[in-house]
Amino acid sequence: MGVKSLRLRPEVEALRHEPAVDLGAVVRGEAPEFIREPAAFFERTHLTSSMKALVVKALMGLLGLREAVVGRLSYRLSSNLIVLPSDLGGGKTHSLVLLYHVLSTIASSKAPEEAYGKLRVLDEDIAGFVRERWSELKGLQPKVVVVDCKYSDLAPSPVKPLAFAGKRIKTIWGYIAYELGRYDEVREFDEREVAPYQDVLFRVLNESNAVILVDEIGRYYDQSGLEPTKVSSFLMNLAEALTKYTTRNVVVVLSIPVEVAGREGERRASGEVLHRHEVFEAVTAALRRVGAEVVKPVAAADLVEILKRRILDHSPDELRKMAEEYVA
């Protein structure tokens, strides 16, 4: 058995361009099926150790845990704010979509064994952890709030406000509070287009039983029409509400924008938009002072396995067996 027996994925064999993973497109039902459907997405995902840690820690934050043993590994969550930095690119949005699918799988499953069967395609340990904590997870009835700043309906702004039940929501803090059923806490701040104080955000977030996914925050600086200092103030107060207070049953996962020395708005091959230094510095400065949990989704050592999973239409077990037969 040689290289000729390898099967390429249909889109690779057809040299068909496939869009980059897009969190907002998944939420809106506009992504291709292999990205939109959890089972297909799990099957195509090479779960790095950091991605696995991200999923586990997000579930820990939701459950109010600081320590957990999953499989044979011990995990510790130091903050309810998890930051995904931009070191290699390409892994941050994929990780956010992965979290979205894990949570939607839990929500749609009627019994622990059903969830276990669906999630073990991704990872046996994560599936086992969900099964073990099933009663707690379902009892929380967790909410998933997606803020994708590429889309006005997922990141309203003064330029493009969102009308909900007679309310005109003008900011992402107003949107998050509305999605959590706590809009009255920030109504004045949303209407006046100013960042809520950290104690206000604590009241919005605490025990909300929610995972909040924030992607492409750099675009919000450029496109919202808000003064950049107001967006930075929101991020700073959000970070402090999640790290300085005893905030429970909520976790915020925030991707950091990619910096570029060249033209603002360029794209990497991964599909990520590159931002000017001022935007990158504004976001990192707002988060620098707090002890956020930092998870780098992809390391250089992961790239070969990621490419194999995206190019070849074989499971890891099939590839392992073929390799053993080839060298025998």
Q: Would you kindly state where each structural domain of the chain is located, as residue ranges?
A: 3-318
Full pLDDT tens readout for the chain, 328 residues: 455 555 665 655 555 555 678 999 999 999 999 899 999 999 988 899 999 999 999 999 999 999 999 999 999 999 999 999 866 555 899 999 999 999 999 999 999 999 999 999 999 999 999 999 999 999 999 999 999 999 999 999 999 999 988 889 999 999 999 999 999 999 999 999 999 999 999 999 999 999 999 999 989 998 999 999 999 999 999 999 999 899 999 999 999 876 543 444 444 444 444 445 677 777 877 777 677 888 887 665 655 565 565 665 555 666 556 555 554 5
Sign of CA dihedral 44, 47, 50, 53: positive
Q: CA-to-CA distance for 247 and 267, rounded, in angstroms?
A: 36
How many angstroms separate the most distant Cα atoms in the chain? 71
Written as six digits, the tokens of 206 are: 């605490």
Q: How many residues does the chain have?
A: 328
C-alpha distances out from residue 26 to 31, 111, 267, Å: 5, 25, 20
